[in-house]
Structure 1
Amino acid sequence: KQCKLTRRANEKYCSQHVPLGVDLAPSSHRTNRRVRIPCPIDASHSVWQEDIESHVSKCSGRVIKPVDEWFCEDCNLDEPITVSHTIPNPEDYIHCIELVTKAVDPGWAPKPLVVSERHIAGIIDRNKEHTKHGTQQEHLVDLILSLQRQEPDAYIEFGAGRGELSRYLALALDHKKPNLFVLVDRDGPRMKQDSKLEQDALAHGYEPPQVQRHKVDIKDFKLDRALPDEKRIISAISKHLCGAATDLSLRCITRSQKECSMICIALCCRHRCSWNALMDESQKWMKERGIDEKNFYIVCKMTSWATSGSRTHMSTNHLGLDSAERERIGLLCRNVIDLSRVHALKMHGIKGSIVKYIDSAATLENYCLVASK
C-alpha cells in the first residue's frame, strides 16, 4: 500500500516515514544537517532536529496543569499509580487461579438487563447514526433511566470522550427542564458531541442543557468545586471507563460532599487497573481473600483472557489451558475486581451490583457497575 503523504522535492521520504537519526540533507548542503528525531515530550511522533525548540513549545503532548478551581492534583489518589513489570511464573498463575476461584461464589452471576422500549424508542427513531456503539448507548440509557429514583441536578460523565452517552441520555430525557452535563476527560478528542446536545434540544423545541467540559485526569478532579452549591444531587455515568479510571471515579464520588443518587459505569480494561487506584475498602476485600498487591497484578493480567480466550487457534497456553478454560478464568478475575468495587461502595452506604447490560455479541465488555442510595 502506497503512502499518500507528500514529500519535499529532492527528498526520498515523507515526514511520517523518514528514518530517525539519519542525515537527509543533500550532499551539496552538508553544513545544514537535516535529521528527524523522536519528540522529547511524546516519542510516538518525530520532529526535525532543527525545529525542536519551536515544536516543544506547542507540542500537543505537553502536560499543562489547569489553573481552574476544580483542579486539585492527586486529590483522588493517595499514592502514585504503579504498574508491575514482573513476569509471573506458572506457579504464580496457578496460585492466583486458586484464589479467584475461592473468592467468587460459584452461583454468582451478573444480573441480566431487560430493555424497556419506552426508554430507547425515541433514541432509535431520532438518531440516524444507529450503529453497534449506538445500541450499547441505548441499553445504557435505558439502564440509567430505570435506576433513577429522582432527577439529579447534574449528570457527571467520567471518561466522557466525545460525550456520546450524555447526548443519548439528553435525547431520552426529552423534556423542557434543562439539565447540567459535566463531561470529564483527560484527552481532547475530535468530533465532540457537546454542541449536539444544544442542537438536539433546539430542534425539538426545549431549552438546551448546560454543558461543561473539563480536560483533566480524574485523579486531579475536585467534583465539589466544579458544581455550584445549589447543584446538590448528581448522577455518575460512563461508557467503558478504562481500568484504574473506574476506581478513581469511585474515589472522586465518595470523597464529594454532593449526594450521588445513581451510578452507572460500563466497565472495561481491568488489565489496566492499579492497586493504588483501588479504594481502600476494595484493597481490604482483596487482602481478606489472599490477593495482595503482587497477586492483584497477576489477576489483572488474567482478566484479558475473558476477551482473548476465544482465539481458538491457540489450542492451549503455557499453563496447558484451552480457550474455554482461559475465558472462564478471565471472567472470574474480572468478577473479583468488580465485586471488590461493589463492596467498597457498600461501605460508603451505596448499594451496588453488577449488571450484564447487553449481549456479548455486541461487546465482550458487557458488564456494568450500577449503584444507588
Structure 2
Amino acid sequence: MEAKESKLIKKDIPHCKHFVVRKKRFCKMTVKTGKEYCGEHMPNSGNITGDESKKDLRVVCPLDRKHTCYAHNLSKHLKMCNARPKPSVPYIARGINCGEVIPETGERCKLNSQTLDSYTVEEIRGVIEKILKLHDDILKIDITEKILQHPLLENEVAKPELGDKSKKHLYQTSSLLGYLKEYDLFQPDTGFIEFGAGKGKLSFWMANALEGINNSVVLLIERASLRHKMDNKLDKSSGKVQRIRADIGDLVLQHVETLKRVKGIVGVTKHLCGDATGKKSVVCKC
C-alpha cells in the first residue's frame, strides 16, 4: 500500500515540460513551484524587466557549452563545474598514447579516426575476407564461447526483483571474475585496473573478491564524471581503491602512486568502446 502511495505522490510532482527529441520523451526533472521548466531547460526572456526575471536568466557555461547555469550564479558555478581546468598531475600527459611524435613538428600523429560508414561495402568485405583467410591459414583453431561464474554473485543474481538488463550485467561481471579466478590472477601484491570503469560495478565486486588478499589494489579509470558510483560504497581510507578521471590516451600508469607498491598488474575491461565491443570483455596480465 505504501509503495502505491509513494508512486502516486511522485506522479503528482510537476515535471519539466521540455520535450527531449533525442530520447523521445519529456524531461524528467522536477520544477519549482509556479514554474513549467527545470533550470536547464528554462527559456530565457528576451525582455528582462524585473529582478525576478534577472534571477531566472540562464547563460551557457563558458567552460562547457553543453550545459547552462544561472547568470547571477556564474562565478560560483565556474569554481565547481566539472569542466573546470584540473590541477596538473604526474600521471596525465596529453595524447601520450595517441601516436608517435613527429620529429619535425614535435606533435603526435593522429590516429585514423574515420568512421565505418566512410568506407564502401566492398572495402569492408575485403578486410573481413583477409581476416578470415589469416585465421584459416595461420591460426587454424576453433573459437569457442566459454561463460564462467563466480560464487560471490550467486545471491545477487538470484534476487527476484532484478530485471533482465540488470542480470545481464551481473552475468558478465560474474564471468569476468570467474576468469580471474580460473587463471589464478587473484594474487597478493597485484594491482587490478578497470579501464572504462563507468559507475564501477565491476570494480565493486572485484574489490569484494579481493578481500583477504594482501597488498591488492583496485584502480578505476574513467574519463566521464558520473553519479551514483558503486566504488563509493567501498572503504577508500586504506588506499586499496582509487578512481582516476582520465582519458586512456593521456594516462601514464607508471606514474600512478597506487600502482608503485604492487609487483604485478591485471587489466580488466567491459564494454570499453560501448557498442563497438558488444558483449566482449577482456582480461590481461602484465
Relative to the length of structure 2, the TM-score reads: 0.65
Measured after TM superposition, the shift of residue 53 of structure 1 is: 4.5
Task: Name the counterpart of 1:211.
Answer: 241
Asked if 1:124 corresponds to 2:190, the answer is no
Please state if 1:6 is matched with 2:31.
yes
Using the TM superposition, give the Cα deviation of residue 131 of structure 1 relative to its aligned residue in structure 2, in angstroms: 2.9
Are the aligned partners of 2:153 and 2:170 in contact in 1 as well (CA < 8 Å)? Answer: no
Q: Is the 8 Å Cα contact of residues 23 and 35 (structure 1) preserved in structure 2?
A: no
Checking the alignment, whether the CA contact within 8 Å between 1:25 and 1:33 is kept in structure 2 is no
Given that residues 266 and 285 in structure 2 are in contact (C-alpha distance below 8 angstroms), is that contact kept between their aligned partners in structure 1?
no
The answer (yes or no) to whether the contact 1:123–1:171 under 8 Å persists in 2 is: no
The aligned runs of 1:147-158 (5 Å cut-off) are 147-148=183-184, 151=187, 153-158=190-195
Alpha-carbon distance, 1:184 to partner: 1.7
Give the distance between the partners of 1:210 and 1:33, measured in 2 at CA.
Answer: 45
1:214-233 correspondence runs (5 A) = 214-226=244-256, 227=258, 229-233=260-264
Alpha-carbon shift at residue 234 of structure 1 (Å): 0.9
Query: Residue 43 of structure 2 corresponds to which residue in structure 1?
Result: 19
Q: Residues 152-167 of structure 1 correspond to what in structure 2 (within 5 A)?
A: 153-167=190-204
**Residue type of the partner of 2:64?**
D
Distance in 2, Cα, partners of 1:220 & 1:95: 32
Name the residue aligned to 2:174: 138
After the TM superposition, which residues 62-77 of structure 1 pair with which residues of structure 2 at under 5 Å, given as runs? 62-64=84-86, 66-77=87-98
Contact residue 266 and residue 284 of structure 2 kept, 8 A = no
Change (3 A) 1:31 1:237: closer
Distance change (3 Å), C-alpha of 1:85 and 1:29: farther
- Verify the 8 A CA contact 1:41 1:61 in the aligned structure 2: yes
* 2:125 paired residue among 94, 97, 116: 97
Select the residue among 273, 279, 283 that pairs with 1:366. Answer: 279
Q: CA, structure 1 residues 114+15, in 2 after alignment: closer, same or farther (shift >3 Å)? A: closer
Task: Decide whether the 8 Å contact of 1:110 with 1:367 is kept in 2.
Answer: no
The separation in 2 between residues aligned to 1:7 and 1:31, in whole angstroms, is: 15
- 1:7: Cα distance to partner? 4.2
1:183 equivalenced with 2:220 (yes/no): yes
Identity %: 22
RMSD over aligned Cα, in angstroms?
A: 3.8
Distance 2:145 2:82 in 1: 42
How many pairs are equivalent?
238
What is the alpha-carbon distance in structure 1 between the residues aligned to residue 221 and residue 214 of structure 2? Answer: 23
What is the distance in 2 between the residues matched to 1:183 and 1:30?
Answer: 44
CA shift in 2, pair 1:23/1:234, >3 Å: same
How many angstroms apart in 1 are the aligned matches of 2:56 and 2:205?
A: 50
The 1:195/1:35 distance shift into structure 2, 3 A limit, reads closer
CA contact (8 A) 2:148 2:176 kept: no
State the shift of 1:371 in Å: 4.3
| Structure 1 residue 24: Cα displacement | 5.5
**2: CA distance, partners of 1:131 / 1:234:** 28
Instruction: Give the alignment partner of residue 111 of structure 1, picking from 144, 164, 173.
Output: 144
Measured in 1, the distance between the counterparts of 2:212 and 2:32 equals 54
How far off its partner does 1:235 sit? 0.6
Deviation at 1:31, TM superposition (A): 10
Residue 177 of structure 1 deviates from its aligned partner by 2.9
Change (3 A) 1:39 1:145: same
Partner in structure 1 of residue 265 of structure 2: 234
Aligned to 2:77: 55
Query: 2:144 corresponds to which letter in structure 1?
Result: K
TM-score by length of 1: 0.52
Cα gap change, 1:18/1:81 in structure 2, threshold over 3 Å: closer, same or farther? farther
* More displaced stretch, 105-114 vs 218-227: 105-114
Q: Return the letter of the residue paired with 1:18.
A: M
Q: Report the secondary structure of 1:42's partner residue.
A: coil
